[in-house]
Amino acid sequence: MALIVQKYGGTSVKDADRIKAVARRVVKTHEQGNEVVAVVSAMAGETDRLIKLAQQVSPSPNQRELDAMLTTGEQVSVALLAIAIEALGHQAKSFLAHQVQIVTDSAFSRARILKINKEKIFDYVRERKIAVVAGFQGIDEEGNLTTLGRGGSDTTAVALAAALNASVCEIYTDVDGVYTTDPRICSRARKLGKISYDEMLELASMGAKVLHIRSVAFAKKYHVPLCVRSSFTDEAGTWVVDVEDIMEKTPVTGVVHNPKEALLALSDMPQEQSITTEIFKALATSRILVDMIVQSPTPKTSLEISFTVPLGDFEQAKNVISPIVKKYGGKMSIDTEVSKVAVIGTGLRDDPQMAARIFETLSDEGIPILAVSTSEIKIVCLIPAKYSELAVRALHEDFERDKLLPEDVRNNNK
């Protein structure tokens, strides 16, 4: 008998029929002799509906109150799932953050879990009953309701799995696993049997929405085996595990892209470190995430620096930077038509030829590279956005042909 945490996202519980289907899956797992804790998101669209309602009342709603409102989405879906499970003849009970005691800090809208009182849930599932826990929500030390930010239900599930020492944390979603690349772009994309936490983190940071980045970091820290699966099929999904648990290591695990980037290039300013500091401090104060910073080597007479920001933050970044550039008599050029293409793989660190190979493949397709950044397990190229999908396809095809991508390990589950 194992204790299994199952997390169901918004599309999995978007209406009464889907909720009943989730109930059947939970009950099936339970009837196989497992103890089950289900973690549920709000019904798809509900969070957006509530935010819109708040904005009709005030353009900048108070964060504490907004969080109190948003937690109702999960409160409704846990109750509905408990009702649906009972209708199948099993005992179930919904647990809200203040009932479990999922204690967070007081950073409304992006709270972090500080501790979970596992006893109540433990006692409940040990009586062979099914616990249904609200994702996304917490309670701070003063009893205020908090939320963990978008995708926070994944984090609730992983944190619960860690606290309860669960055998596995299954993340049910509307895709059936993690792919070597986007199947909508490349028909030869294959579902991965396993992926390491680090690789999954890199994928999430590139904008892959399959898992909330904080939940992956949490799972890595506490060695919680994750399994990403579809709530609409019975197919095996993708396991996210410690790198040691992956037998067959290939250089490349996946090719991903993020076309929602903007490039800002600053030039003709005095070559002073203090100016660079001023720029990035200003961006940090505005909470703008900066990436792919390229600074020309210092021997040059003037400061030349470029970096990317998410396209959504671009206008704000421009407003923050403009006065500084002006003050030092510099120039700013902007390109909103850029895309990041990334090759990710734990094997990259062992193969010094990979970077050259990537550049060659892109070059063969006539794709200019605007900037490059690398980490231990990732090589990212910034390219003109119009080449984004072509680049993904070319790289994926190249790795696939030479068997650099992992074999389909669909039946290779733990």
For the CB of residue 59, give the shortest distance to a second copy in the complex, in Å: 8
For the CB of residue 294, give the shortest distance to a second copy in the complex, in Å: 43
Of 408, 335, 338, which is closest to residue 380 (Cα–Cα)? 338
Contact 304, 296 (CB under 8 A): yes
Residue 343's alpha-carbon distances to 63, 113, 179, 192, 196, in angstroms, are: 38, 32, 13, 15, 14
Pairing type for strands 3-8 and 35-40 reads parallel
Residues from 193 through 232 that contact a second copy (CB under 8 A)? none
Closest CB to a second copy among residues 44, 228:
44
Query: If binding is defined by CB under 8 A, does position 131 make contact with a second copy?
Result: no
Contact 283, 317 (CB under 8 A): yes
For the CB of residue 314, give the shortest distance to a second copy in the complex, in Å: 29
Query: If binding is defined by CB under 8 A, does position 373 make contact with a second copy?
Result: no
Count of residues touching a second copy (by CB under 8 A): 37
For the CB of residue 261, give the shortest distance to a second copy in the complex, in Å: 34
Report d(CA 105, CA 146) in Å as an integer.
Answer: 8
For the CB of residue 155, give the shortest distance to a second copy in the complex, in Å: 22
Helix ranges, 14-62 (H) = 16-31, 46-57
Contact 120, 85 (CB under 8 A): no
Point out which span in 15-23, 29-37, 213-221, 269-277 binds a second copy (CB under 8 A): 15-23
Among 5, 19, 283, 292, binds a second copy (CB under 8 A): 19
Closest CB to a second copy among residues 16, 334:
16
Residues from 42 through 81 that contact a second copy (CB under 8 A)? 50, 53-54, 56-58, 61-62, 64-66, 68-69, 71-72, 75-76, 78-80
Report d(CA 168, CA 3) in Å as an integer.
Answer: 8
Report d(CA 41, CA 133) in Å as an integer.
Answer: 9
Closest CB to a second copy among residues 16, 289:
16
Burial of 226 (0-12, 13-18, 19+ CB in 10 A): buried
Report d(CA 203, CA 200) in Å as an integer.
Answer: 5
For the CB of residue 269, give the shortest distance to a second copy in the complex, in Å: 42
Residues from 137 through 156 that contact a second copy (CB under 8 A)? 143-145
Closest CB to a second copy among residues 1, 57:
57
Closest CB to a second copy among residues 16, 114:
16
Q: Which residues of 271-286 are buried (b: 16+ CB within 10 A; e: fewer)?
A: eeeebbeebbebbeee
Point out which span in 14-22, 266-274, 389-397, 403-411 binds a second copy (CB under 8 A): 14-22
For 5, phi and psi rounded to 5 degrees?
-100, 125
Among 4, 7, 8, 20, binds a second copy (CB under 8 A): 20
For the CB of residue 62, give the shortest distance to a second copy in the complex, in Å: 5
Residue 220, helix vs strand vs coil = helix
For the CB of residue 27, give the shortest distance to a second copy in the complex, in Å: 14
Q: Which amino acid is at 254?
A: G
Residues from 78 through 107 that contact a second copy (CB under 8 A)? 78-80, 82-84, 86-87, 93-94, 96, 98-99
The sheet that has 137-139: what strands, in order across it? 113-116, 102-104, 137-139, 145-147
Report d(CA 213, CA 249) in Å as an integer.
Answer: 23
For the CB of residue 315, give the shortest distance to a second copy in the complex, in Å: 25
Closest CB to a second copy among residues 7, 93:
93
Closest CB to a second copy among residues 118, 260:
118
Q: Which residues of this chain interact with a second copy, rule CB under 8 A? A: 15-16, 19-20, 50, 53-54, 56-58, 61-62, 64-66, 68-69, 71-72, 75-76, 78-80, 82-84, 86-87, 93-94, 96, 98-99, 143-145
